[in-house]
Amino acid sequence: MPDTGRRKREKSVRDTSGGGVVGLRGKRVVVLGLGKSGEAAIELLLASGARVDGTDSRPEEAFRASAGTWRARGVSLSLGGNPPGLVDGADLVVTSPGVHPDHPLLAAARARGVPVWAELELGFRAARAPIVAVTGTNGKTTTTHLVGALLAETGAPVAVAGNVGFPLSSAAPAVPARGYLAVEASSYQLEGIDTFHPRAAIVLNLTPDHLEHHGSLEAYRRAKGRVFLRMAGEDALVLVADEPALDGYRAETRARVLDVSLARRVARGAWLEGGALWARVGDGPAERLIAADALRIPGRHNVTNALAAAAAALAIGASAEAVARGLAAFRGLPHRLETVATARGVRFVNDSKSTNAASLLVALEALPGPLVLVAGGRDKGTDLAPLVPLVRGRVRAIVLIGEAADRFAAAFAGATAVHRAGTLEDASRRALALAAPGDTVLLSPACASFDMFRDYEHRGDAFREIARSLAAEEGGAA
């Protein structure tokens, strides 16, 4: 195969025993950012025999007992700031997701010629199992878990890791070579990869997001495209053919491309035809996988997610029978069009993962009306104009919260009745009062949560509890 030499070189920088990362014993490594990814990086680096310096801008009190435990294990800590001088004499810097590439410590590392890896890169170098990587603006987490569920049906050990709250540095050493790793890869993580090499990768879509970090849509597109940086030959890149923004990747990859489409049959990949999901990833005949209405996750976007996951799982060795079983059994994830309660005949749906306008558009298309929408939070500034026709056609009323309320109210004035509330609980109660039996109260904020909540999960958990409390008050189902 044309990439044999490259694959031999790649193997030489990866551990094959599960004990750590080769080549790091005795090396001094600085870990920037000590959240989940940073903690996982420290553990893997210690297992690799490295000398570790950890740094975080948060003060000592933010780490409670962790700081003492790390120091007792030989980790040097700089808390309350990130002195650029830390990289003097360092052999490597490992950075957590979300740290801007222009961070002073990273700039100092580059100026001194010190390599910088994302935690994703570090985790990859400890991986023995093949990786299926999933990226895109929306749908990544559901699709990554779907891939994991489909591969688990093969009977092999599987871990779902990456940008799902379980760092690859934690997952990779635990999965043997005969297993699989399903890895969600964000644009932030992909900026810092070097040898990261999935055997299959999925790019779902590309809409404006995180532009405050990347600076432009083209830079964001390039960051996402790094997922196939090392892929070639028989590696499979799954692209959604219904997304024109992804077309440029076809000319940029050396991997074989598998297409996914809801609109047409494709030569290689997976598609929707006659109300069923079909796939053909090799030279054999097309295979019917499952009826679309047998999927337990709602919305046409989830049919696309299922097709993409199926194509990747088949490409990496799963049988059509295993894929069909996994698709039929998958029930979805919290905070993604999750039905959480029913009160007075009104269904409450938690879509707190909706943090941009594109996510809200998907939710409005996925659910039949009438809807009472709860939206708002910290504004990302994304264009709301494409939402107006759907709001006019499906949303009985909208209840707005948070910092974005004024802009959202102006955007949707005239399209539906607009109300405001000071808290999520007030908004939920107002939405129930505005709804009629048979309606759905939908939390799909199209905003970040940071003005009122710790993260989207905190927001969704709060909405779930509020909805169940309202159901109990009304004698409904929780």
User: Does the annotation mark 210 as catalytic?
Assistant: yes
C-alpha 61/C-alpha 53 separation (Å) is 18
User: Does the annotation mark 301 as catalytic?
Assistant: no
The answer to whether 167 and 119 have CB atoms below 8 angstroms apart is: yes
Burial class (CB in 10 A: 0-12, 13-18, 19+), 344: middle
The answer to whether 44 and 68 have CB atoms below 8 angstroms apart is: no
Annotated active-site residue in 103, 138, 140, 335: 140
168: CB partners within 8 A, 6+ apart: 40, 119, 120, 122, 123, 124, 127, 161, 162, 181, 183
Residue among 100, 120, 116, 119 at smallest CA distance from 213? 100
39: CB partners within 8 A, 6+ apart: 66, 167
The answer to whether 93 and 84 have CB atoms below 8 angstroms apart is: no
DSSP state of 439: -
Prior bond of 368 cis (ω within 30°): no
CA distances from 100 to 13, 107, 229, 366, 434 (A): 26, 10, 21, 34, 43
Pairing status of strand 28-32 against strand 92-95: parallel
What are the DSSP E strand ranges found in 9-130?
A: 28-32, 51-56, 76-79, 92-95, 116-118
Annotated active-site residue in 27, 210, 213, 458: 210
C-alpha 105/C-alpha 93 separation (Å) is 9
Residue 201 C-alpha from the chain's centroid: 13
C-alpha 241/C-alpha 227 separation (Å) is 18
User: Does the annotation mark 163 as catalytic?
Assistant: yes
Number of H helices, E strands in the chain: 18, 20
The answer to whether 223 and 191 have CB atoms below 8 angstroms apart is: yes
What are the DSSP E strand ranges found in 334-438?
A: 338-343, 346-350, 371-375, 395-400, 417-420
Q: Which residue has the tokens 């040898």?
A: 195
Annotated active-site residue in 82, 103, 145, 163: 163
**Which amino acids are annotated catalytic?**
140, 163, 210
